[in-house]
Amino acid sequence: MKKLVFTLVIGALALAIAPAWSADQADQIIRGQYQAVLGDCAGCHTQAGGKPLAGGLPLETPFGALVPPNITPDGETGIGNWSEADFRNMMKSGIGHNGVRLYPAMPYPAYTRMNDSDIADLWAYLTSVEPVSNKVEANQLPFPLNIRLAMLGWNALNFTEASFQPDSSKSAEWNRGAYIVQGSGHCGTCHTPKSFLGADKDSEFLQGASLQGWFAPDITNNAQSGLGKWSEEDLVKYLKTGVNAHSIASGPMAEAIENSTSKMTDPDLKAVAVYLKSLGSDAGNTQPAKPDETRMATGEAVYRDNCSACHGGDGAGAGVLFPSLAGNSIVAQGSSETLARLVLAGSQAVHTADAPTTPAMPSLAWRLKDQEIADVLTYVRASWGNAAAAVSSDDVAAVRKGLTQ
């Protein structure tokens, strides 16, 4: 929150020396800045330690690397030559200035649901930030995907320009949550499984997906793999602080929380929670087979010697410092990719004003062999009320390979 106030002050200073802006415009810029928070523009378009919105670090997509471009109002290297109409068109259709087609790593399939006034506010904000000259070679995809025209075909197959359709049978709060989750918040970009062409599988909306070496978990209300055991308050606390009784955010979600959700208003967070808790069903849930006892015994030995000092002998964790493993939604996912990654590479928790500690999981890649990691994860996934499938050493080996490449 402190950071936001700070930037708003800077914004006000800029206004003071820019007489062209009226009070109305200043309000619009401040609203637009909040749209940038909801959309987490900085998450991709700002590099750590770099100038705001002047271009980000490469995004690894299944098809190759894409570099988020400079979206400051610099004429040469940014979007200074764009018109508001260009911008609106890009957000709605993925077609940018001069008809350049964007790759859907830019989540226009979600932003298309944003309404015109929010897009106009966002545009007002983007034109007000400091122009930075920084040339970004956005497209580093291999042939033929490097031909942007290819997106024409992709869009034809996978994309329909749309507006958000409110559901009048639901509350205003639910509709606000749906608008943020489906639109500017673009939660599905990570959490919805993708087809082989990289498009969202709408039937599995927010049911968990693999990306960039992480498994973004199921965030529907599914009791087994999703947020069924979380209350709305748990969810709000998590999005606001990065920490709740069930989980501590790290990896890409830590960034999303730090840059975006921790800065959302409390009513918006509540709306998101109400909406997410309304999704999914437990109909297809099945109980995985119990792992065999030898693996549980070796897993327990590895757990006692490596994990219990932080996560506790009973998997209960310790408050905001060490996540509980009992009932943890990451542990409960069908995919063990994130778990294996955490054990192998470690990870640092998110920093927010309310949870500044940033505790970190150390890398145990040196100490533990693939089989030992598979056994300890199998043990964790089948203990203390957890009931997720056993993990094979091949699963772990694949993650280790991905990390060392």
Partner 1 sequence: MASDPPTQVVAGGWHFFSAQEAALVEAIVDRIIPADELSMGGKEAGCAVYIDSQLMGAYGASSRLYTQGPFLPGLPTQGYQGEANPAQRYRAGLAAIDAFLKQRDGKTFVELARAEQDAFLTAMEAGKVDLPNGVKGPAFFGLLLQNTMEGFFADPVYGGNKDMVSWRMLGFPGARYDYRDHVSKHNQPYPQPPVSIIGRPEWLGKGA
Partner 2 sequence: MTKILPRKDVVIVGLGWTGSILAHELTDQGLDVLAIERGPWRDTATDFNIGYAQDELRYSVRRDLFLQPTVETMTVRNDPSQTALPMRDFGSFLPGNGVGGAGVHWNGHTWRFWDSDFQIKTNLTKKYGASRIADLQVEDWGVTGTEMEPYYDRFEYLAGISGKAGNIKGELQEGGNPFEDPRSRDYPNPPMQMTYAPTLFAEVGRSIGLHPFPTPSANMSRAYVNPLGIAMGQCTYCGFCERFGCANYSKSSAQTTILPVLMKKSNFEVRTDSEVLHVDLAPGGKSARGVTYVDTSGQEYFQPADLVLLCAYGLHNARLMMLSGIGKIYDPTSGEGTVGRNYCYQTNAGVQVFFDDKNFNPFIAAGALGQTIDDYNGDAFDHGALDFVGGAGINCIPTNGRPIGTRPTLPGTPKWGSAWKKATVEGYKSTLGYSSQGSSYATRNNYLDLDPTYKDRFGRPLMRMTFDFPDNDIRMSNYLCDRMEEIAKALGGKQYTVSRRKKGWDSVPYQSTHNTGGAIMGTDPRRSAVNTFLQSWDVPNVFVIGASAFPQNAGKNPTGTVGALAFRAADAIRNQYLRNPGAPLVQA
| Residue ranges binding partner 2 (CB under 8 A) | 306, 309-310, 318-322, 346, 348, 351, 353-364, 366-368
The residue among 7 and 140 lying less far from partner 2, judged by its C-beta, is 7
**Apex 3 CA angle, 273 and 138, nearest 5:** 80
Compute the least distance from the CB of residue 378 to partner 1, in Å.
12
Whole-angstrom distance, CA of residue 319 vs CA of residue 209: 27
Binding flag, residue 370, partner 1 (CB under 8 A): no
Would you say 124 and 26 are in contact if contact means Cβ atoms under 8 Å apart? Answer: no
Q: Is the dihedral of CA 288, 289, 293, 295 positive or negative?
A: negative
45 is in an annotated binding site: yes
246 is in an annotated binding site: no
- Given partner 1, partner 2, none, residue 357, with its beta carbon under 5 to 8 Å by kind, binds partner 2
Whole-angstrom distance, CA of residue 326 vs CA of residue 308: 12
The residue among 1 and 157 lying less far from partner 2, judged by its C-beta, is 1
User: Rule CB under 8 A: which of 302-321 touch partner 1?
Assistant: 302, 304-305, 308-309, 313
The residue among 272 and 364 lying less far from partner 2, judged by its C-beta, is 364
User: Which residue in 301, 387, 398, 403 binds partner 1 (CB under 8 A)?
Assistant: 301
Whole-angstrom distance, CA of residue 400 vs CA of residue 370: 8
Whole-angstrom distance, CA of residue 324 vs CA of residue 167: 37
Compute the least distance from the CB of residue 293 to partner 1, in Å.
11
Whole-angstrom distance, CA of residue 326 vs CA of residue 338: 16
User: Which residue in 275, 372, 396, 400 binds partner 1 (CB under 8 A)?
Assistant: 372
169: which residues sit within 8 A by CB, 6+ positions away?
Answer: none
Would you say 195 and 189 are in contact if contact means Cβ atoms under 8 Å apart? Answer: no
Binding flag, residue 297, partner 1 (CB under 8 A): yes
CB atoms within 10 A of CB 281: 11
The residue among 287 and 294 lying less far from partner 1, judged by its C-beta, is 294
186 is in an annotated binding site: no
The residue among 29 and 368 lying less far from partner 2, judged by its C-beta, is 368
Residue 271: phi, psi to the nearest 5? -65, -45
Compute the least distance from the CB of residue 309 to partner 1, in Å.
4
User: Rule CB under 8 A: which of 218-247 touch partner 1?
Assistant: none
- Given partner 1, partner 2, none, residue 304, with its beta carbon under 5 to 8 Å by kind, binds partner 1
Whole-angstrom distance, CA of residue 326 vs CA of residue 370: 23
Compute the least distance from the CB of residue 4 to partner 2, in Å.
13
Q: Is 368 helix (H, G, I), strand (E, B) or coil?
A: coil
- Given partner 1, partner 2, none, residue 356, with its beta carbon under 5 to 8 Å by kind, binds partner 2
187 is in an annotated binding site: yes
Residue 121 has, within 13 A of its CA and on its CB side, a CA count of 21
351 is in an annotated binding site: no
Binding flag, residue 100, partner 1 (CB under 8 A): no
Compute the least distance from the CB of residue 369 to partner 1, in Å.
8
The residue among 166 and 313 lying less far from partner 1, judged by its C-beta, is 313
The one segment of 144-152, 159-167, 296-304, 394-402 that binds partner 1 by CB under 8 A: 296-304
CB atoms within 10 A of CB 22: 10
CB atoms within 10 A of CB 385: 10
Whole-angstrom distance, CA of residue 97 vs CA of residue 87: 8
Among candidate residues 38, 129, 144, the one with its CA nearest the CA of residue 91: 38
Q: Which positions lie near partner 1, rule CB under 8 A? A: 294-295, 297-298, 301-302, 304-305, 308-309, 313, 366-369, 371-372, 375
